[in-house]
């Protein structure tokens, strides 16, 4: 039987985060795609193979799960350099978008071509994966995880590398031995209480009623955790994330300063970077845009705070709310200021922004390994019981 490699992938609205194998490979790819031609021009004095792979992902994707099959795409950083790049729209469902699958397949193919777990033969790599991933709580409550999982299982999905450094001409055939789709809010809880060796940490959280507010690009989920499980009836999902506000900032910068920024990723960088935060270059001069970012983000923070107030009022015995997700890193200062001024809830952010951004991928990695361990143990027990008969 072919070897199955572990993959834990969070297809976030801002970026894909992936952890593979035995923690031997990680990928971070901005969630942007752009339809393209087969022979894209390569500009620059370096040869193609000397360029960065992650800056030049150019692929054709074949899959029965896609509505548009066999299309060629630029993915990630390369897609930001075109005028027809696509980011997920507010109101869309992650489980029903081709873009989610294209990002997922691209990441798995990039892992497969560099992994010693799979053999390459005549530029073809056959790769089997056991995948842990997730969807917003709202989509799981609507049962969309079932359809999403079935799209992946039972089919071969092929990624063909076109004008991509080191991998041009290679084809990766992807198969899934198993796929587990977790609700994002519960995944965040698992990450809080379990380390990479699946041992319990933060034992004091196990029997508390806690809230987890996950602010993403297109949606916000607030999970209510009690008795170590998500309370499905109390958990709420909202069709609001940071993407719309990032687009507003991008548009206001364009109209006021005449500066065209490539993507929402650029806005996040302007807001969160350590040096020259809230500054852009205008005709070669460093220019402060804090007045633009400030009023737009404050309005969004007020809406997010209302969500918190609404859910907490219906779950009054909650002891703490953890804010997670890329959107939390963007809004942290605003929500803290509002909370100090208004209700004074017991809330907590992760000061390490990378920890917050990678939280879901880390959780899926823990959950899928726990599942594999449990399945393996069950098979051994079944085998022993059969032999005993």
Domains, the chain, ranges and CATH? 4-182 (3.30.420.40), 207-357 (3.30.420.40)
Mean pLDDT of the chain: 88
- Rounded Cα distance, 238 and 319, in Å: 22
Exposed e or buried b per residue across 291-317, where buried means at least 16 C-beta atoms within 10 angstroms of its C-beta: ebbeebbbebbeebbebbeebbeebee
Supply the DSSP symbol for 38: S
Supply the DSSP symbol for 86: B
* Range with the largest mean pLDDT of 56-65, 200-209, 264-273: 56-65
Q: How far is CA 22 from CA 27, 135, 368, 375, in A?
A: 14, 23, 12, 18
214 forms beta bridges with 221, 324
pLDDT of residue 190: 83
H/E segment holding residue 250:
helix 243-257
* Residue 250 vs residue 48, higher pLDDT: 250
Supply the DSSP symbol for 14: S
* Residue 140 vs residue 5, higher pLDDT: 5
pLDDT of residue 42: 72
Supply the DSSP symbol for 163: S
pLDDT of residue 382: 62
pLDDT of residue 126: 96
Q: Which two tokens stand for residue 163?
A: 């004008």
pLDDT of residue 245: 93
Alpha helices (runs of H) in 115-143, residue ranges in sequence order: 137-141
pLDDT of residue 43: 66
Average pLDDT over residues 279-300: 93
Q: Are 217 and 264 in contact (CB under 8 A)?
A: yes
Task: Label residue 16 by pLDDT band (50, 70, 90).
Answer: very high
* Residue 376 vs residue 253, higher pLDDT: 253
- Rounded Cα distance, 15 and 370, in Å: 25
Q: Would you say residue 387 has pLDDT above 80?
A: no
């Amino acid at each position: 039987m072919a070897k199955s490699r572990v993959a834990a992938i969070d297809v976030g609205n801002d970026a894909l985060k992936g952890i593979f194998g035995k923690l031997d490979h990680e990928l971070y790819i901005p969630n942007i795609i752009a339809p393209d031609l087969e022979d894209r021009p390569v500009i620059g004095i370096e040869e193609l193979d000397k360029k960065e792979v992650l800056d030049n992902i150019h692929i054709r994707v074949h899959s029965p799960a896609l509505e548009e099959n066999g299309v060629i795409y630029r993915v990630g950083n390369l897609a930001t350099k075109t005028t027809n790049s696509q980011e997920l729209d507010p109101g869309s469902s992650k489980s029903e978008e081709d873009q989610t699958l294209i990002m997922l397949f691209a990441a798995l193919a990039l892992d497969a071509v560099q992994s010693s777990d799979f053999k390459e033969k005549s530029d073809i790599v056959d790769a089997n994966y056991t995948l842990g991933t997730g969807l917003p709580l709202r989509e799981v409550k609507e049962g969309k995880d079932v359809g999403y999982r079935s799209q992946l299982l039972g089919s071969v999905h092929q990624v063909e590398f076109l004008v991509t450094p080191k991998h041009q001409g290679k084809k990766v055939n992807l198969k899934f031995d198993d796929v587990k789709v977790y609700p994002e809010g519960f995944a965040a809880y698992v990450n809080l209480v379990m380390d990479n060796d699946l041992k319990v940490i933060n034992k004091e959280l196990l029997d508390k009623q806690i809230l987890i507010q996950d602010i993403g690009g297109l949606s916000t989920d607030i999970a209510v955790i009690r008795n170590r499980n998500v309370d499905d009836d109390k958990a709420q999902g909202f069709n609001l994330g940071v993407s719309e506000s990032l687009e507003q900032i991008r548009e206001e910068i364009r109209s006021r300063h005449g500066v065209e920024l490539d993507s929402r990723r650029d806005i996040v960088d302007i807001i969160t970077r350590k040096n020259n935060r809230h500054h852009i270059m205008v005709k070669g001069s460093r220019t402060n845009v804090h007045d633009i970012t400030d009023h737009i983000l404050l309005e969004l923070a007020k809406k997010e705070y209302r969500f918190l107030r609404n859910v907490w009022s219906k779950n009054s015995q909650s002891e703490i709310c953890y804010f997670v997700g890329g959107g939390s890193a963007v809004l942290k200062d605003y929500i803290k200021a509002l909370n100090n001024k208004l209700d004074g809830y017991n809330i907590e952010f992760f000061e390490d922004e990378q920890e917050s951004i990678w939280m879901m991928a880390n959780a899926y990695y823990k959950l899928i390994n726990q599942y594999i361990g449990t399945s393996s143990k069950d098979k051994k027990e079944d085998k022993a019981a059969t032999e005993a008969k």
